[in-house]
């Protein structure tokens, strides 16, 4: 069993590997409409700036994957930190990418199914976090975590050919572009408790929502 410091050292290395795998998947997805025959991609992109490098020699990716697998609860969410009940939306997106990249698409589907069900009705963006039990406990809805759900959907779709989550990706992207995009072309940081856009702009979110990336389902 690796110590907490060792686990913390593993996370950046595996994160780099996952981002590189995502970029390969995004390239395949952006080349066309996944076997063709669909509508053109919408004008939204969530493309991460991946740092260079690969998984460092000696990194036990199997142990790290086991750690991810063990954290997934019956609600389908993963607790973000040991000893807590919070499941941050960003972390769920990253977990779905990890599961897809390392041969557990069924586990990725559990995560994405949670958000597919949560998005039912009129979509107002996913909240920043949920308890692992899955209920809504906050009205904070930041742009970044929602954009990362699109990333997870893109990567899962490109790797598996399963298109069931593409409508959800389009719904999230539409919300980002229609509700959060400013007249200057930037993206507001999220929505306040009353549903209006926040007054600040996150440069990292603006830079990642800029190119076609969500393919129409049909």
How does residue 143 score in pLDDT terms, banded at 50, 70 and 90?
A: confident
- At 173 the pLDDT is 86
Residue 9 resides in a domain: yes
Question: Residues with Cβ < 8 Å from 178, sequence gap 6 or more?
Answer: none
Q: Quote the number of domains for the chain.
A: 1
- At 67 the pLDDT is 86
- At 53 the pLDDT is 42
Q: How far apart are CA 184 and CA 159, in angstroms?
A: 35
Work out the mean pLDDT of the chain and round it to a whole number: 72
Residue 56 resides in a domain: yes
- At 152 the pLDDT is 96
**Residue 34: other Cβ atoms inside 10 A:** 18
45-77, pLDDT tens digit by residue? Answer: 333 333 344 555 666 778 888 889 988 999 999
- At 13 the pLDDT is 47
Q: How far apart are CA 26 and CA 159, in angstroms?
A: 9
Q: How far apart are CA 59 and CA 7, in angstroms?
A: 10
Q: How far apart are CA 146 and CA 176, in angstroms?
A: 8
Reply yes or no on whether the pLDDT at 204 is more than 60.
Answer: no
Residue 213 resides in a domain: no
Nearest alpha-carbon partner for 148 in 15, 36, 32: 15
Residue 216 resides in a domain: no
User: How many CA atoms lie less than 13 Å away from 75 in the CB half-sphere?
Assistant: 17
The pTM assigned to this predicted structure is 0.66
Residue 218 resides in a domain: no
- At 182 the pLDDT is 57
Partners of 141 in the β-ladder: 191
Three-state DSSP string of the chain: CCCHHHHHHHHHHHHHHHHHHHHHHHHHHHCCCCCCCCCCCCCCCCCCCCCCCCCCCCCCHHHHHHHHHHHECCCCCECCCCCCCEEEHHHHHHHHHHHHHCCCHHHHHHHHHHHHHHCCCCCCCCCCEEECCCCCCCCCEEHHHHHHHHHHHHHHHHHHCCCCCHHHHHHHHHHHHHHHECCCCCEECEECCCCCECCCECHHHHHHCCCCCCCCCC
- Residues 192/141, Cβ–Cβ less than 8 Å: no
Percentage above 70 pLDDT, the chain: 55
Residue 215 resides in a domain: no
Residue 217 resides in a domain: no
Residue 107 resides in a domain: yes
Residues spanned by the domain of 68: 4-208
Q: How far apart are CA 173 and CA 195, in angstroms?
A: 16
113-122, pLDDT tens digit by residue? Answer: 999 999 987 8
How does residue 84 score in pLDDT terms, banded at 50, 70 and 90?
A: confident
């Amino acid at each position: 069993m690796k110590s907490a410091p060792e686990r913390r050292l593993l996370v950046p290395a595996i994160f780099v590997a996952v981002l590189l795998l995502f970029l390969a998947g995004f390239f395949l997805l952006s080349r066309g409409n996944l076997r063709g025959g669909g509508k053109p991609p919408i004008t939204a992109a969530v493309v991460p700036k991946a740092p260079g490098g690969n998984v460092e020699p000696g990194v036990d990716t199997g142990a790290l994957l086991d750690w991810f697998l063990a954290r997934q609860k019956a609600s389908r969410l993963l607790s973000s930190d040991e000893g807590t009940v919070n499941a941050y939306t960003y972390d769920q997106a990253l977990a779905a990418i990890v599961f897809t990249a390392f041969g557990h698409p069924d586990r990725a589907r559990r995560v994405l199914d949670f958000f597919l069900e949560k998005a039912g009705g009129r979509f107002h963006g996913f909240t920043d976090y949920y308890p692992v039990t899955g209920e809504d406990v906050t009205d904070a809805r930041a742009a970044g975590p929602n954009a990362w759900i699109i990333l997870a959907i893109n990567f899962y779709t490109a790797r598996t050919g399963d298109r069931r989550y593409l409508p959800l990706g389009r719904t999230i992207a539409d919300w980002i572009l229609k509700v959060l995009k400013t007249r200057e072309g930037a993206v507001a940081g999220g929505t306040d408790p009353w549903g209006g856009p926040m007054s600040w702009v996150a440069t990292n979110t603006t830079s990642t929502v800029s190119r076609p990336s969500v393919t129409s389902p049909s």
